[in-house]
Amino acid sequence: MRNPQAGPAGAPVNARISPAGGLDILSRSEVARLRDASSSGLHGLLRRCALAVLTSGTVSDDPRGMLAKYPDFDIQVLQQERGIKIELTQAPAQAFVDGEIIRGINELLVAVVRDIVYVATQIEPRRFTESGSEGLTQIVFEILRNARILRTHVDPNLIVCWGGHSISREEYDYTKAVGYQLGLRMLDICTGCGPGAMKGPMKGAAIAHAKQRRRRNRYIGVTEPGIIAAESPNPIVNHLVIMPDIEKRLEAFVRMGHGIIVFPGGVGTAEEILYLLGILLHPDNRGIPFPLVFSGPAGSADYFTQIDRFLRLSLGDDIAERYEIIIDDPAAVARSMMRGLDRVLNYRLDTKDAFFFNWSLAVPYAFQQPFEPTHQAMAALRIHRDRPHHELAADLRRAFSGIVAGNVKEEGMRAIERDGPFHIDGDPEIMQALDALLQAFVDQQRMKLPGGSDYQPCYRVAGAGAARPA
């Protein structure tokens, strides 16, 4: 609806809008919980996530920056007899055109309200940290189903793309080229919903889908509250889902996705790689097809050489059988994915598993438990080669998760400011390789967006020279 309270161009906007894109009717108690700022921080969570959506397309990696820029922003959900209204106070003007909220932003705003209400009222009361492995997988399924993300009666066609938000222009253009090749082959795209390698594949696929006159395209963004404030959804996302934590976000990727492409990135991308490989290394998952390709332009060849070296050193040479490295050939990446999807299709048919949710994949409970990256927890990680490889991968994933928290999550940043860098210890050879990999990320500006302040490492690696400025 038209907003009569719009001020000068660029000035914050006050508006009362009707939700677009479909939102189940909320009860009065659900609306009250959203309105009550003292209700376990629920209103604060809604405010942070809503502001991230309203600044969709903004390139930033500081979760506190937007709140500082719009300190008076607020959102309230109002119950009316015929449904609900969303009231915005001092909202970013970029979300509006001639006094009307942009349709896509309205839909993403609805997704924020939907997921926060659903998790708070239907999931949290079940104490999901104590639900057991099958119970946690059921929760992931229920959140995705409630978000209407899962699509039945469709052959496997959803490609998950992982990669960094801080990448070079050459790398970004390459992700678009790969997305274009995927789109020409009628494939849908799922990413972490932010900028960089999360936006490029969607943008390329959107052009290809238009050329193919394909209408029901899915550009799915999967995020979580600690990340969305630092990585606002890019404007191409047309299905947004906010999972409760990083572990359920990662499980959503591997349960929904039929294949994964990894582009150059930083510690968040390394975390995702180790999460997936740790699961694929589990004995119960032997024989389950899951196409995985690492790819980038010619200038990123050394990046993947270093990733490959670190993985082989930490998890053994056999780990390389689980992925393919393709450099500077977008069409070859798409063809590899198509071959992988054929294997997935035949396996799901043989095992009678669903196409829309990978029930047969075993995700160990250790990979599902939320990891709180405190200084004590980071120091207690057991990064030793005498452990089963899938367990070692789980702790390596947690190490990278802690660095992500220290880089871009508000609570992690506060912990580093208060108590100094995280300390990471383990086998000396792995520690040296880890330090070299992290320092390469720093040198290549993969820890912070280019143009910002110099990166100050939030970690110290035992027996190595980490925590040195770029």
Report d(CA 239, CA 397) in Å as an integer: 27
Phi, psi of 219 (to 5 degrees): -120, 90
Closest CA to 217 of 248, 194, 187: 187
The DSSP 8-state label assigned to residue 234 in this structure reads P
The DSSP 8-state label assigned to residue 383 in this structure reads B
CA dist list (Å): 280 to 139, 273, 274, 318, 322? 21, 11, 10, 12, 8
pTM of the model: 0.89
Number of H-type helices and E-type strands within the chain: 17, 14
User: Tens-digit pLDDT profile for the chain (470 aa)?
Assistant: 444 455 555 788 999 988 876 565 667 777 776 665 445 578 888 888 999 999 886 666 565 667 788 899 999 888 766 667 889 999 999 999 998 999 999 999 999 989 988 888 888 776 655 668 899 999 999 999 999 999 999 999 999 999 998 899 999 999 999 999 999 999 999 999 999 999 999 999 999 999 999 999 999 999 998 888 778 899 999 999 999 999 999 999 999 999 999 999 988 899 999 999 999 999 999 999 999 999 999 999 999 999 999 999 999 999 999 999 999 999 999 999 999 999 999 999 999 999 999 999 999 998 998 888 899 999 999 999 899 999 999 999 999 999 988 887 878 888 999 999 999 999 999 999 999 998 888 888 887 655 555 778 888 898 665 444 43
SS3 of 191, please?
Answer: strand
Report d(CA 239, CA 221) in Å as an integer: 6
Cβ count within 10 A of residue 318: 10
The full length of the chain comes to 470
Phi, psi of 143 (to 5 degrees): -65, -45
Closest CA to 255 of 220, 226, 230: 220
Residue with tokens 């993985």: 311
Report d(CA 17, CA 3) in Å as an integer: 8
Q: Determine the pLDDT at residue 79.
A: 74
Q: Determine the pLDDT at residue 470.
A: 36
Q: Helix H segments across 4-41?
A: 28-35
Report d(CA 85, CA 88) in Å as an integer: 10
For the record, the structure tokens of 208 come out as 């290809």
In the chain, the domains with their CATH numbers are: 13-126 (3.30.1850.10), 151-365 (3.40.50.450), 369-461 (no CATH)
For the record, the structure tokens of 38 come out as 């003292």
β-sheet with 83-91: strand ranges across: 13-17, 83-91, 74-80
For the record, the structure tokens of 375 come out as 């200084």
CA 284 to chain centre: 26
SS3 of 42, please?
Answer: helix
Q: Determine the pLDDT at residue 464.
A: 61
Do residues 203 and 172 touch, judged by C-beta distance below 8 A? no
The distance in angstroms from the start CA to the end CA of the chain is 49
- Sorted by sequence, the CB contacts under 8 Å of residue 470 that are 6+ apart come out as 442, 443, 445, 447, 454, 455
CA dist list (Å): 453 to 374, 407, 461? 25, 12, 22
Do residues 205 and 217 touch, judged by C-beta distance below 8 A? yes
